[in-house]
Amino acid sequence: MAEKKSEFPALKNDRLLRAARGESVDKVPVWAMRQAGRYLPEFREVRAQYDFFTMCRTPEVACQVTLQPLDRFPLDAAIIFSDILVVPQALGMEVQMKPGEGPVFPSPLSGPEDLDRLCNPKDVCAKLQYVFDAITLTRHKLDGRAPLIGFCGAPWTIMAYMIEGKGSKTMSNAKCWLYRHPEASHRLLKTITDATIAYLVGQVKAGAQLLQVFESHAEHLGPNLFQEFSLPYLKRICDEVKDQVAALDLQDIPMTVFPKGGHFALRELGRLRYEVVGIDWTVDPILARQLVGPNKTLQGNLDPCALYADPIQIDSSVKDMVEKFGCERYIANLGHGMYPDMDPRHLAAFVEAVHTHSTK
């Protein structure tokens, strides 16, 4: 495996990895969730030619759009173009991406009997080879300009999509399972977790240099449901990915957990083996540090909508954010993803402000 790693171009910018491990940096590293997306005209041009999941399944295209934001902005990370919903697809569920509507599952899980429809989690990696190929290709094409982030959805977030079949304000169908079918819920979460662990280890083998786990629907759980239906699976993912990566003699890579809307979970998440905890924009950075504790790196958390302000205001919001988080153990980002109607020049202002206000 050591030979395979050395085949990749040497990393010329390791700020993200240094910050994730708690080492000192010359400037705070910065990237943006959904940095490859419809706010970029060059992305829309590619998107007009392909269906969304065709883009994900075509390594050359996934690689091309992953690199687009790095060609424009001095970002300190690339994130592989894909989606968290490729895992339920690999488990046998159909998912379509409807323009203007987002993801739709034509036949969501309606009750515990539907769990029989799912494939064996051991078989997902063979079906996700296209993601691994996209990661390996992108590591080469990046030429060491920045590290490449791999990712997945957390089990509760994926379960919620599999049951709701689309976005939902309340997640009441998925939460109905937690209260009415707790045993089946745990069976489903275990299946997703098994698939996810294999999938993340596959991403590391393919060349991912940091892994982020998106618990995008944490806000619907509250502390008690989180404790029972999210935390144990987030813990298993981090423990088993790290153990399997070590057993394969691969280099340990940092992992990030992002519990969107999960302010109530920050203290508990600070006790897991994730090196980085993502913070959404509703949490005060100083409180986040107190809750997560001193030995973790924080990532976040500018309100994405702050990018609608003019660049001078963006600069002062970033200055305030960097002062509150501090320049050590910090990765600058938005508190959630970018929106399609954002001005790319405002992301440029965000990135520049982070580097300016954090230079030693």
The burial of 339, by beta-carbon neighbours within 10 Å (0-12 exposed, 13-18 middle, 19 or more buried), is given as: middle
Residues in contact with ligand CP3, counted by CB under 6 A, come to a total of: 23
User: By C-beta, is 85 or 231 nearer to ligand CP3?
Assistant: 85
- End-to-end alpha carbon distance in the chain: 37
Catalytic residue at 21? no
Q: Which lies closer to ligand CP3 via its Cβ, residue 297 or residue 333?
A: 333
Task: Write the interaction track for ligand CP3 spanning residues 204-223; mark x where CB under 6 A is met and - where it is not.
Answer: ----------x-x-------
Q: Does the annotation mark 34 as catalytic? A: yes
Closer to ligand CP3 at the Cβ: 248 or 305?
305
- The one among 22, 337, 348, 352 contacting ligand CP3 by CB under 6 A: 337
Per-residue binder mask for ligand CP3 (CB under 6 A), 75-104, x = binder: ----x-x-xxx-----------x-x--xx-
Q: Distance between CA atoms of 199 and 153, rounded to whole angstroms?
A: 11
Angstrom distance (rounded) from CA 321 to CA 150: 26
Are 347 and 307 spatial neighbours (Cβ–Cβ below 8 Å)? yes
284 assigned to active site: no
Active-site residue (options: 21, 50, 72, 83): 83
Alpha helices of 21-146 — where are they, by DSSP H? Answer: 41-47, 52-57, 59-72, 86-90, 124-127, 129-142
At closest approach, how far in Å is the CB of 49 from ligand CP3? 12
38 is annotated as an active-site residue? yes
108 binds ligand CP3 (CB under 6 A): no
Give residues 233-262 in contact with ligand CP3 (rule: CB under 6 A). 260
From the candidates 39, 161, 199, 330, give the one annotated as an active-site residue: 161
Cis before 301 (ω within 30): yes
Question: For residues 337 and 344, which CB has a smaller minimum distance to ligand CP3 in the complex?
Answer: 337
**Residue 109 and residue 189: Cα distance in Å, rounded?**
13
Q: 10 Å Cβ neighbour count for 165?
A: 19
| Euclidean distance between CA atoms 298 and 13, whole angstroms | 19
- CA distances 229 to 132, 160, 279, Å, are 29, 11, 20
Active site residue 161: yes
Positions in 313-332 near ligand CP3 (CB under 6 A): none
Residue 38 near ligand CP3 by CB under 6 A:
yes
State which residue, 37 or 121, has the beta carbon closest to ligand CP3. 37
For helices 155-164 and 182-206, what crossing angle results, to 10°? 120
What's the min distance (Å) between Cβ of 101 and ligand CP3? 8
Catalytic residue ranges = 34, 38, 47, 83, 161
Footprint of ligand CP3 on this chain (CB under 6 A)? Answer: 33-38, 47, 52, 79, 81, 83-85, 97, 99, 102-103, 151, 167, 214, 216, 260, 337
